[in-house]
Chains A and B, each alone.
Chain A
Amino acid sequence: MRLKKVLALLLALAMVFALASCTVEQNPTPTGGNDPGETTPGTETQQVSIEWWAFPTFGNATGYEEELIAAFNEVHPEIEVNLTIIDFTSGPQTLTAAIEADTAPDVLFDAPGRIIEYGKAGELADLNDIIGEASGDMSEAVLSACSDGTDYWMYPLSSAPFYMGINLEMFEAAGADQYLNLEGDRAWTTEDFQNACKALADAGYTPGIVYCGGQGGDQGTRALVSNLYGAAIANEDMSAYTMNSPEGVQAMTLLQEMVDAGYLDVATDMQAAQELEMFQTENCAMTFCWGTSNAISYHSDDFTQVSVPFPSDDGVPELETLYNGFCVFDNGDQAKIDAAKTFIQFICTDDEWGPKSVLQSGALPVTGTFEALDLYAGDEEMQLLSSWTQYYAPYYNTMDGFTTMRTEWWNMLQRVLANGGDPQTELDTYVTNSNAAITG
């Protein structure tokens, strides 16, 4: 018995010791109400170390983040920034695990979809103070993308539309270029799109592939469906998903008919990345997931890649938007929160590094100040994209139930386009399940 007691004691001590060593060291600095960037008397030399996790929005291994940190440290040597680049495949999982283990970074460079969810879950420090200072310089659309309606959780850096890409040579060879509008804003109609797909298919090309093997790049297929007949993805006050409207059903019916007729392909085993590879390797004539970063990643010198907006029945597209921005995690240390806010203000608003960062992200500025700098002077493609900001659709990525809606979306596409499901029934199921996630 005595031996067992001794062993039990040893085991308990070992566990306590291990748990104590596993405990995350907490900075004992008391929380305060310091304004970011403001130096409290007597704390000028206090060193603060913050963790910055970033998706590779500034490019893969360009070294830009390191340059940025070095420039920041020239101004703020008291703030040490430790960088970790996370990838788009395993990054979200890594973040979730870190948040639940209380080891989340201090700063994250991401997009509103995840950031707003983290904010709603109480994981972030609100950015009301620093956004408030800059709000007069940003549009309502930009501001709403950074907020859950109550607080601001993301500080925006840049934005860009999502659109379609086409292989001009294939269109020309098939005589489908007659249906394109390559003048002005390049807007085209649903009828043009149908005719172009038919011409391409008749010429032996694969016109386009409606990918639905997962949620990667699903904004592209959603934009295609919503634009064809003007179906709204969500209602005006962003309280419910509404794609089972007559316009949505009409669009899905059209796509189903086009797939059945061989004017479009459906791929239940592909996500956007594979569809983009098919476009890049000239195995299909168009992609539904073109954007500023994909135009770089999937560039080809072998053919002419032309950006066009999604086709719509009235010729006025509504484009999905990508926003790049930063959030600050509330790790219980006000000094780190303030340092993090100072850092993201430097990246987004510094006279030199703000515009540089916008350019490095390959997207368009979101503030009037940087727009006035005409950062993309002489770049016709970016000028065109800049003109498309007038077509930005209402931003629904910050809605409750967004993640569930995404899963429901590609499964709905599979049921309608691959399994011959009834568009109305399947859209009803998609909307019902998505809205159920809103009400929890």
Chain B
Amino acid sequence: MSKQAMSQSPVLRRRETVVSYLFLLPALFFFVCFVVTPMAMGVVTSLTDSHMGGGSFVGLKNYVELFQDPVFLKSMVNTVIIVVVSVPVVTVFSLWVGSAIYEMRASARSFFRCVFYLPVVTGSVAVVVVWRWMFHTYNGLFNHLLTGAGILDRGFSFLGDPRTALACVILILFTTSIGQPIVLYVAALGNVDSSMVEAAEVDGATRMQIFWRIKWPAITPTTLYVVVITTINSFQCFALIQLLTSGGPNYATSTVMYYLYETAFRQYQYGYADAMGVVLAIVIALFSALQFKVMNGGATE
């Protein structure tokens, strides 16, 4: 009996299916326990006024209040600004760096990969401590340079001024976000069919034509992954803000994730915080769906 005929046998097919499900079972178990169940619990809690010591069902009251809460609305606007600015910048910069270094010698490529990946593996606290020092009003590097060059008379509070605080957060987020996309792009560009590139070069295609006609379609799935992951990470920006600005000045750097944390762990209003979480999840899902749609689901053709 041929191999193909064996694989079509109902008994064997069922056995393979059972084995597949059994392999999936541990992952499914953890997914259900630690992702699906908490999400469901979060949705249910968002319909209550749950707080430390109790809570009762309040229907959609939390959601109504949420959209009348100026701090939440400001936090949502800040969050969207972070996403809208950081996602394209991170993606384009990573692609540019990835394209530049993947053609280098292996040692040089590894060096640059390490340099750009370093902020990713460095702990948030260490990163924030260094940046906080650089932005410091009295002893900071930037203020030393600016006052030394005569541009400023005295130290400027970069993190304390509403006009610059969010930009500072985005800058730091940028440095910690580009590492992984660069590594991914270098790997993806390395997988582009070199025979097609060589054929295009023989046919007289310019570098830009080769990039847009051959390389870009080949790395579209990577780009989609980078865009989606960067979007989600930007939406969930929390540690930087908690450690750097506490959402200030006057909520200028507050994000939904930070406000959610404040509401849950400082005010103990779990129901209200969960409502924020649900709204944030919906917004992230909508953004991600839009990105899938725009990028044709990452299809290479």
- Which residues of chain A have a CB within 8 Å of any CB of chain B? 3, 7, 10-11, 14-15, 18, 92-93, 96, 99-100, 117-118, 120-123, 206, 212-215, 266-271, 278, 283, 403-404, 407, 410-411, 414-415, 418-419, 437
Contact = CB atoms under 8 A, between A and B. Distances in A.
Contact of B52 (A118, A268, A407, A410): A118
B142 to A, nearest CB: 13
Interface stretch (B1-9, B88-96, B155-163, B292-300): B155-163
Nearest to B262: A407
B245 interface: yes
Contacts of B32: 11, 15
Contacts of B266: 92, 403, 407
Contacts of B162: 419
Contacts of A122: 53-54
A104 to B, nearest CB: 11
A3 B29 contact: no
Contact of B29 (A14, A267, A271, A418): A14
21 contacts: A11-B25, A14-B25, A18-B29, A18-B33, A96-B264, A99-B52, A121-B51, A122-B53, A123-B52, A123-B53, A214-B248, A268-B248, A269-B165, A269-B244, A269-B249, A403-B268, A404-B267, A407-B266, A410-B248, A414-B248, A418-B161
Interface of B: 14, 17-18, 21, 25, 28-29, 32-33, 51-54, 135, 137-139, 157-162, 165, 244-246, 248-251, 262, 264-268, 270
Contacts of A93: 265
Q: Which 8 A-B residue pairings sit nearest by Cβ, starting from the closest?
A: A121-B53, A268-B160, A214-B246, A269-B159, A268-B249, A269-B160, A121-B52, A122-B53
Given A268-B160, A404-B267, 5 more contacts: A100-B270, A117-B268, A121-B268, A269-B249, A414-B249
A118 B250 CA distance: 29
Given A99-B52, A120-B53, A267 B137 contact: yes
B231 to A, nearest CB: 26
Contact of A411 (B51, B138, B251, B270): B251
A268 B25 contact: no
A7 B139 CA distance: 63
A268 B163 CA distance: 13
Contacts of A403: 266-268
Contacts of A269: 135, 137, 157-160, 165, 244-245, 248-249
A3 to B, nearest CB: 7
A3 B18 CA distance: 8
Nearest to A266: B160
Nearest to B168: A269
B160 A213 contact: yes
B52 A96 contact: yes
Contacts of B267: 403-404, 407, 437
B52 A418 contact: no
B268 A271 contact: no
A416 B161 CA distance: 13
A208 to B, nearest CB: 13
A10 B53 CA distance: 36
Contacts of A121: 51-54, 268
B226 to A, nearest CB: 31
A117 B52 contact: yes
Contact of A213 (B17, B52, B248): B248
Residue picked from B21, B28, B52, B270, most chain A C-beta under 10 Å: B52
A3 B14 contact: yes
Contacts of B262: 407
Contacts of B53: 120-123
Contacts of A267: 137, 157, 160
Contacts of A404: 267
Contact of A15 (B17, B29, B264): B29
B265 A7 contact: no
B137 A3 contact: no
B33 A7 contact: no
Given A18-B29, A403-B267, A415 B250 contact: yes
B268 A96 contact: yes
B248 A283 contact: no
A411 B265 contact: no
A425 B56 CA distance: 35
B246 A213 contact: yes
Nearest to A122: B53
Contacts of A7: 21, 25
A418 B160 CA distance: 8
B246 A271 contact: yes
A376 B21 CA distance: 71
B52 A419 contact: no
B52 A414 contact: no
Contacts of A99: 52
A407 B28 CA distance: 41
A404 to B, nearest CB: 6
Contacts of A96: 52, 264-265, 268
B263 to A, nearest CB: 10
B36 to A, nearest CB: 11
Given A122-B54, A418-B249, A15 B33 contact: yes
Contacts of B157: 267-269
Residue picked from A11, A92, A123, most chain B C-beta under 10 Å: A11
A278 B138 contact: yes
Contacts of A215: 246
A410 B245 CA distance: 12
B72 to A, nearest CB: 14
A224 B262 CA distance: 26
A111 to B, nearest CB: 15
